[in-house]
Amino acid sequence: MSKYTLKDNLKLKVDAHNFKDGESIKVRLTLLDENKKELGKKEDKAKVQNKKAIYPFITEDIAKSLSIKSEDVIYVKGWMDSDGDDKIGYNEEVLIDFIEEEVLITVIVELPHSKETGWGAKGLAGHTAMAIGDRFFDYGPDYDTTKTFDEEEYLADLNQDGDMDDKVKVNDIPNIGFKFAPGRPWWGEAIAKRLKKDATKVILSEAFYFITKLPWESNRRTMVQGTNIYGTVYKIEFYVKKLQADKLIKWWEDRYKHLKVYSVEPWKGEQCTTTVKEALAYVGIDDIDWNTLTPDGILEDLKTEIKSTSRQHKDEKAKITLIKKEAKNWKP
Ligand SMILES: [Ca+2]
Ligand SMILES: [Ca+2]
Ligand SMILES: [Ca+2]
């Protein structure tokens, strides 16, 4: 059976032998949810021309006219009373099955290097990022001495003087480090800088190129700056409903607007992994163990817990793919 989207131009069509040109026949569209329960119906008429009647419609518009949320519509039953007896006869009714719009979510996890020690070995090295469709987002600390951080924008008391109305430099932030720093798009900003674009506009293919094609190490001779991505990197893919995807993008756009405080200590702020988890939980994907703060922890959870939420891929497990092996020449 061919499937359609709610935005497609559809046509109901019947042979209407008992009618003259210009006469009209009854049409009924019944909108149904995923359990084929009726959400509403529209009665209309179609004119007969050359013993045929055609009724064009766009399902989304019909839903709107009936004040039905279009994302709830999964089937439409169409009926044209081609013999004019006011009954649903053989060959007068069709059931149209719709494709639910879905979006691919890609979570990217860089594991701590196997030779990592200290905080790094505890799993706080490595990184977690995500893309919604092709929009790429991630979160990390900012130690940029050239920036001025506006506390109002960051929604944080960065200089820790008890208010949120200062414009501060890195040096004004007490004990700046991975336990307390302004947040920023982490890989996102590095990618944006190379491409001379805005960090909010980074797309997934650019992130893949950055992670898998560029050297991790900086080269002093050629002045080429490395990506510093030396751990094993996986991508984890699953599908969500379009509506969830739109909310996820909105969540990250808000985060990029107010970058808040980065901290590996959860009572102070967020880090790469908790940010991704918080975003997913915001749209109801909260099967992940919230105590897991580390990239290898989130990878484990994603492997075992995450399932697609869209109708086409309902309950399918996430697909995990290794995209980069750890650097052999990295030393702690
Ligand atoms: Ca009939
Ligand atoms: Ca302040
Ligand atoms: Ca102040």
Beta bridge partners of 182: 261
Residue 204 contacts residue 129 (beta carbons within 8 Å)? no
- Are 178 and 250 members of one domain? yes
- CA distances in angstroms from 97 to 5, 24, 67, listed in the order given: 9, 27, 20
Higher pLDDT pick, 239 / 286: 239
Residue 32 CA to ligand 1 center (angstroms) comes to 21
Q: Is residue 123 located within the same domain as residue 242?
A: yes
pLDDT above 60 for 331: yes
pLDDT surpasses 80 at 187 = yes
Comparing 117-131, 179-193, 212-226, 286-300, which segment has the lowest mean pLDDT?
Answer: 286-300
Q: Is residue 123 scored above 70 in pLDDT? A: no
pLDDT attached to residue 42: 98
Reported in sequence order, the residue ranges of the chain that DSSP labels E, i.e. its strands, are: 9-15, 24-32, 38-49, 52-58, 75-80, 93-97, 102-110, 127-132, 135-138, 140-141, 149-150, 167-168, 181-184, 233-241, 261-262, 319-324
220 and 128 both lie in a single domain:
yes
Give me ligand 2 centre to Cα 193, in Å: 28
Closest-lying ligand to the alpha carbon of 92? 1
Give the CA count within 13 Å in the CB-facing half-sphere of 276: 32
Same domain, yes or no: 140 and 197: yes
pLDDT above 90 as % of the chain? 76
Q: Please state, as a whole number, how many other Cβ atoms lie within 10 Å of the Cβ of residue 29.
A: 22
pLDDT of residue 200: 96
Q: What is the mean pLDDT of residues 131-150?
A: 97
Q: Poorest-confidence range of 56-70, 112-126, 222-236, 273-287?
A: 112-126
Residue 206: pLDDT over 50:
yes
In the predicted model, is pLDDT for residue 1 greater than 50?
no
Instruction: Give the distance (Å) from ligand 2 centre to CA of residue 156.
Output: 7
Q: How far does the centroid of ligand 1 lie from the alpha carbon of residue 96, in Å?
A: 19
- Can you tell me the distance from the alpha carbon of 186 to that of 21, in angstroms, rounded to the nearest whole number? 67
Region 188-204: mean pLDDT is 97
183 three-state secondary structure: strand
Q: Which helix (H) or strand (E) holds 277?
A: helix 272-282
Please name the amino acid found at residue 134: D
Tell me the per-residue pLDDT of 161-185, one tens digit each, with 9 for 90 and over.
Answer: 999 999 999 999 999 999 999 999 9
Give phi and psi for 253, each to the nearest 5: -65, -40
Instruction: Name residues with Cβ closer than 5 Å to ligand 2, which is an ion.
Output: 157, 159, 161, 163, 166
Q: Are 314 and 238 in contact (CB under 8 A)?
A: no
Counting ligands in written order, the one closest to the CA of 93 is 1
By the 10 Å C-beta count (0-12 exposed, 13-18 middle, 19+ buried), 58 is classed as middle
Which ligand lies nearest the alpha carbon of 91?
Answer: 1
Same domain, residue pair 131 and 275: yes
Contact 248, 283 (CB under 8 A): yes
Residue 194, CB half-sphere, CA atoms under 13 Å: how many? 15
Segment 298-316 shows an average pLDDT of: 88
pLDDT at 118 over 80: no
pLDDT band at 55 (very low <50, low <70, confident <90, very high): very high
Distance from Cα 72 to the centre of ligand 1, integer Å: 29
Residue 161 Cα to ligand 2 middle (Å): 5
Identify whether residues 89 and 154 lie together within a single domain.
Answer: no
- Asked if residue 57 is part of any domain, the answer here is yes
- Secondary structure letter of residue 99 according to DSSP: P
If asked whether residues 127 and 78 sit together in one domain, one would say no
Interhelix angle for 204-213 vs 186-195, to 10°? Answer: 90
Residue bearing the bigger pLDDT, 99 or 123: 99
Which of 79, 97, 115 terminates a domain? The answer is 97
- Which of 48, 63, 97 is the endpoint of a domain? 97
Q: Where is pLDDT greater, at 123 or 22?
A: 22
Please tell me the predicted confidence (pLDDT) of residue 266.
Answer: 84
CA of 197: how far to CAs of 147, 194, 202, 204, in Å?
17, 8, 8, 14
Task: Please choose, from the candidates 276, 259, 244, the residue with its C-alpha nearest in 3D space to the C-alpha of residue 199.
Answer: 259
Cα–Cα distance measured from residue 110 to residue 22, given in angstroms and rounded to the nearest whole number: 67
Q: How far is the CA of 158 from the centre of ligand 3 (A)?
A: 9
pLDDT-derived band of residue 2, with 50, 70 and 90 as boundaries?
A: low
Token duo for residue 29? 């569209």
Q: Which domain holds residue 49?
A: 9-97
Q: Give residue 292's pLDDT.
A: 64
* Domains held by the chain: number: 2
Asked if residue 4 is part of any domain, the answer here is no
**54 and 151 part of one domain:** no
pLDDT surpasses 90 at 121:
no
- Residue ranges with CB less than 5 Å from ion ligand 1: 81, 83, 85, 87, 89
Question: Starting at the edge strand that comes first in sequence, how are the strands of the sheet with 102-110 ordered?
Answer: 135-138, 127-132, 102-110, 233-241, 319-324
Residues 54 and 140 in one domain: no
pLDDT for 305 equals 85
- Give the integer Cα–Cα distance in Å for 311 and 295: 29
CATH number at residue 78: 2.60.40
**For residue 157, which ligand has an atom nearest its CA?**
2
| pLDDT for the residue numbered 52 | 96
The pLDDT of residue 46 is above 90: yes
Tell me the percentage of the chain whose pLDDT exceeds 70. Answer: 97
Share the mean pLDDT of the chain: 93
